[in-house]
Amino acid sequence: MGKTFAIKALERASGIDGLVAGQIVDAYPDLYMSHTATWRCIKTLERMGDPDLFDPNRIAMVMDHISPAQTSKIAGDHRLSREFAVSHGIKNFFDVNAGIAHVVLMEHGLVKPGNLIIGTDSHSTIYGALGALGTGVGFSEITAAWVTGKLWMKVPESMYINVTGPLPDGVYPKDVMLKLIGDITADGATYYSVEFHGSWVESLSTSERMTLCNLAMEMGAKNAVVPPDAETERYLLEHGVDLSTVEPILPDADAIYEHRIDLDARTLEPQIAVPHNVDNVVPISQVVGTRLDQVFIGSCANAKYDDLAIAAKYLKGHTVAPGVRLVVTPASADIMAKAAADGIVTTLIEAGAMITNPGCGACAGSGGAMADGEVTLSTANRNFRGRMGSYESSIYLSSPAVAAASAISGVITDPTLVLA
């Protein structure tokens, strides 16, 4: 019987052959990520008597969710993390200037195919874009892994998703994922390992694969993965990874899947998640003309270099509609620098965008808050009540193309109309 990616990855991480879905094993992650709230792990460790760390080189800390600090309390939390990293020899510490944890770790060559990576963020599924098994856990699990090097994991069932392309003009991977989330629902893939397959998936850049794997969490996935290939090698080499240290894992051709889903995206129109749930998805034609107060282009789902480039393509030669705030938050310092060097940042500013420092920004409630009754169109991955300010405000989710086109008109707009 053939094996899925998840079975093979957890066999490697546990050292146990012959695993089956539903089995619980002690797995040894290759990397443990914690973000701004790392202080919770440190305080827990102190209550344990500050035991020795299993392997400081497997620990990564990124101060991304509230950066820079907004209060003295948060500043103190950041300082605690900095001091802990120095005193415990933790080299993989990234401060408030670095950007979003997921993107930063991938840019710095800390994510490799076949790795098991756990993180204090549900969107750790994004690491599957490089063929790793990434999954979100709580702070107590991270703290335990700091000390023991391991955690219990249940081997997930697997879901095979095949997407047929190419996509129509104005349609992007974000639209594909919103369509899938709407069809599968927010809990339809709960505790599944989601594998993305097909010639369209294989044609995607690593950045586009990040969008797929990131948003898989919004349908409940335990992890998501695009099987590594030549594009994966290209990205790893570009980011300084020695390929001799890489051991890719590929699912067997005869692997057994609990569910198989096919999506023909060749006639797909842009998709919009409407308030207040991510799986409340409709074609853009049903919400065209919806008034906006703010547009946010950011988050680990859609603030990568190509996302900013797409937004700039639509905004070039246009200006943001009166009364609309366009907030752009690049995913990392490296992305911001490249976008600045290529003129993308200038294009965005000339159109009327406000560029903030790299990080999670408004997606994590850090800036970009709305007042009662206001409406934001966001490229982030969640649109829950109160996530961006007032509980009485509304968030719609879209691709960067739809966001840029809508910022120009002041209402939700099909991007094909801007370049027509």
Q: Report yes or no: 414 and 268 within 8 Å, Cβ to Cβ.
A: no
- Residues 284-313 have pLDDT tens digits of 999 999 999 999 998 888 999 999 999 999
Q: What is the pLDDT of residue 305?
A: 96
Among the candidates 197, 232, 263, a domain finishes at 263
Q: Report yes or no: 213 and 226 within 8 Å, Cβ to Cβ.
A: yes
For residue 276, whether the previous peptide bond is cis, meaning omega lies within 30 degrees of 0, is yes
User: Are 248 and 331 part of one and the same domain?
Assistant: no
- Residues 231-279 have pLDDT tens digits of 999 999 999 999 999 999 999 999 999 999 999 999 999 999 999 898 9
Q: Report yes or no: 11 and 17 within 8 Å, Cβ to Cβ.
A: yes
User: Are 71 and 97 part of one and the same domain?
Assistant: yes
Number of domains in the chain: 2
Among the candidates 263, 284, 315, a domain finishes at 263
Stated as kind and residue range, the H or E segment containing 378 is strand 375-378
- Region 177-194: what's the mean pLDDT? 96
Token match 């009327």: residue?
A: 352
User: Are 191 and 223 part of one and the same domain?
Assistant: yes
User: Are 277 and 252 part of one and the same domain?
Assistant: no
Residue 382 belongs to domain spanning? 272-417
SS (H, E, C) 255-323: ECCCEEEEEECCCCCCEEECCCCCCCEEEHHHCCCCECCEEEECCCCCCCHHHHHHHHHHHCCCCCCCC
Closest to 252 (Cα-Cα) out of 18, 5, 20: 5
Q: What is the pLDDT of residue 416?
A: 92
371: which DSSP letter?
-
Among the candidates 263, 298, 327, a domain finishes at 263
Question: Residues, the chain, total?
Answer: 420
Give me the CATH number covering residue 297.
Answer: 3.30.499.10
- Region 136-161: what's the mean pLDDT? 95
Q: Is 221 helix (H, G, I), strand (E, B) or coil?
A: coil
